[in-house]
Amino acid sequence: MIPVYTRIRAKSLAEFGELVRHSGEEYIYVVEGAIVAHTEFYDPIELHEGESIYIDSSMGHAYIAAKGCNEAVVLAVCSSADESLLESLYSLHGGVEPEAAAPAKRRTAKKTSKRR
């Protein structure tokens, strides 16, 4: 499982680009603001702070900031047997680099090294 904490700034599907697809499953929790989750097979759904959605990530999907929201913050938790998923996530989700798992690992490593 890969946790990804990121900011959603795209305000339209045109700005977001093509729907993304990757292996595994994805849980999205809205931390701040509101988003509209677009998927290949279902109607768009608006999610507000504290709300979430769980999808099959191989289905095309995109997340955009809801109308009237300049930016939203979400926590996405992705699971996959694909070892290259983390690298894929940086390029897939709307071209926005997540504030994600790699930096969190560095912080953990620093804490561990300070305890020695």
Q: Smallest Cα–Cα separation from 78: which of 98, 96, 107, 64?
A: 98
pTM of model > 0.75: no
Least reliable range by pLDDT among 18-22, 35-39, 58-62: 18-22
Higher per-residue pLDDT: 8 or 79:
8
Residue 30 in contact with residue 72, Cβ under 8 Å?
Answer: yes
What the chain holds in terms of domains, given with CATH numbers, is 2-115 (2.60.120.10)
How many Å separate Cα 81 from the centre of its chain? 18
CB half-sphere exposure, 74, CA atoms < 13 A: 31
Instruction: Read off the pLDDT of residues 52-110 as tens digits, 9 standing for 90 and up.
Output: 999 999 999 999 999 999 999 999 998 877 666 655 555 555 444 445 443 333 333 33
